[in-house]
Structure 1
Amino acid sequence: MKLEAEALKTRRIVLGVTGGIAAYKSAILVRRLKDFGFDVRVVMTEGALAFITPLTFQALSGNPVHTALLDPEAEAGMGHIELARWADLLLIAPASCDTLAKFANGLADDLLSTLYLATKAPVWVAPAMNQQMWAAKSTQRNLTTLVQDGVHVVMPEAGEQACGDVGLGRLAEPEDIAQWVNDFFAQAEREISEKFGLLAGQHVVITAGPTRELIDPVRYISNHSTGKMGFAIAEACYAAGADVTLISGPVSLDTPNGVRRIKVQSAQEMLKHSMQLVENGTDVFIATAAVADYRVAQVAEHKIKKAGDELQVALVKNPDIVATIAQLDKRPFTVGFAAETQNVEDYAQGKLTAKKLDMIACNDVSRADIGFASDENAMVVFFAEQYQMQKQELEKASKHEIAKQLVEAIAKALDKHVPVS
């Protein structure tokens, strides 16, 4: 059963808690689901009430807990119908043997079993029971029926149980269940983005981080870039439905989900991979990397020994990657970045024209609050004259939020972009 597009915005989960010692883990599960941004409402069976109190779940979820089939406080007394319509996903953890049997056979004698029949949302069950009950033929028949009905089963784990038995039947860990649920929503969001996202169908190549230009085997020339802005843009482009390749200099960041990453060291390596990707088909090229302007003319084969008070190293100019891409006969929509310490907007507009870019985003890296190592940024965006778009000022915000705004700006400009044939 798939998620609807609206569910990705609301992210609402009804968590059913049934009778069993594993019910205490459901409290942890609520916390982990909340950490992922889900709105959680808890439904407890009569058996669950014997193991944990509704007050615990109310405090953790921030919502009232539901225990009665006919709720006098609900609209028309039909609480199960309201919850069924509210839920984006129905998750039962722990799911007892009795609950699985009710679901599989269409029984509806309490709030949770009635809710199961009344909802259109995807249903997940995470069973927890004695190992012999789990292995029973009737339980396995019920599970087979539920899977055939489209229910997702979170398999229990093996280990020592509260009753002293050892075997399969322990509830999966709450952290794992929450992660799998979040991944389920993320995958659904990706599928929708690939069809309807701002950059759906676009291949985006992004350069990020610094480059390192070797002096000798142990020394190099580099800069303070952390790659955070480029990685945030890669993540935002992927979320907008794009096929994303990230060419990254040496940074200590994890590769964003769904993004292909090519690791490089020098400017020449970065240019080589950029050219190969563009030649093979790239729709948008975003150059956020802080590429070293110069490299050492002759890299020493061995470590340079200390000798005298001065050391002279000859430098030669590195290739300008974004300008090289922008001047190709068949070039992608090209976005440059300008990290300056003075006259920021003037320098940015000069680069936009001189390098024949479609768009440029600039920021003042002399500011401590939005510099290279900061998690926040503020930018001004300019567009080439043919787009007839006014400059955009992106107020100070997290780099992830700035990245989303940049993707929106790119998408608007792409609507007016005429590809070079």
Structure 2
Amino acid sequence: MKRRIAITAVVGITALALTGCGGASPSGSSGGSGSSDKLVIWNWGDADDAAAAYTEEVTAAFNEVHPDVEVEIVNQPFDQYYTLLGSAVEAGTGPDIALFNGGTQLKSRADSLVPVTEELADLEDTLAGWPAFQAGGETYSAPTFLQGFPIYFNKALFEQAGLDADNPPKTWDELSAACTAIVDKTDASCFALGNKEGLGIEFFLSGFGSGIFTPDEYDAWIDGDRDWTSEHAKQALQLWADSSADGWYNEGANSTAMFNDSFDLFSAGSSAMVIGLMSGTAHWKQFDEFLGDDLGFMMPVTINDGTTLALPAEGGIGYAVLNEDKKDLGVDWIKATVDHDALANYSLAGGQITSDTTIELDTDIESANDIVSELPGSKPLLHTALTAEELDLLHRLGQQLLGGEVTVDDAAAQLAASEG
């Protein structure tokens, strides 16, 4: 029998710091769409049929309000998306509206965006995940879906390694012992990892962060008060390096693409665990298609005393307005993206955990229900509080730490220096 579980608001997300500045000039983004009967929108395309259906529903909801406005959606490659967008905005040929990842990617570009704080105020009580789209006291987008870093595991491989699949590791020592057993007793790696783009350390830091930092340290980090040379920040870097040295990952992790090669390793049963996502791709529904009842979800593990484990989750993606001349149309497009019916349909068809707190997740997939049950105590993603420059540096150092090419002390010093 399927369980219906209401997706409650993510209370812990409200600790996210509001940084940056707002206000965009009309000339910053024209996209060649000076006419009021056309709206040019950039995104990185639809991943599958469910995503395409969602886009069609959003467009239809928008056209109910603006039947005479032509919507032109331009799909850009994700690996070049922000570079292309930045160049277009600088040249004055950017779109009217663009899709953004919440957190760093949006906040670092707030000065190119049009604030829509008052226009979206009526949605505040319905949607969760707002802080990822706010900066300098202004709101720039509405969260469509929640994003986070759940840890998934393969129950069959756990049992093959002699582990209790109903009681996954709860401490770092237990996790280390489990990885040793998996590597020794199965043909699988302990964790699937793709670090060709340097993204692995983002998943590791945010995925395990609540077990490393105390609640006060965690909140201070999100608020921008962090010290990479502190004991626990260096410990996070050390554990990342140690996990590689201890053989947790698949061979060639630094040359394996995260999307989607590493996640395919987990789906195929070549790795026992993975820090995945809960919306978009590499999520519970996608993994369930391959693993079925063998798919499990586990919380971060306790590493230090005085920590409080929390699911890392926050607002995932949302559209923002770049052309002030099209602000009214842009606001209506944003509202269409959080249309209740469109989100509800996509939540099950596409594996999304939506921002709409009134939508119920109707599924018998255990991992999905377990994730939803942890949302009220969730915390923002640690890596999205970093600046774009700091994040780029973290990616490079994460690759070097994985390969033993830099010491933890040196990496911590470089990151601390990047904070200014």
User: TM-score, normalised on structure 1?
Assistant: 0.19
Indicate the structure (1 or 2) with the bigger Cα radius of gyration: 1
More helix by share: 2
User: TM-score, normalised on structure 2?
Assistant: 0.19
More strand by share: 1
RCO higher in 1 or 2 (8 Å CA, sep ≥ 6)?
2
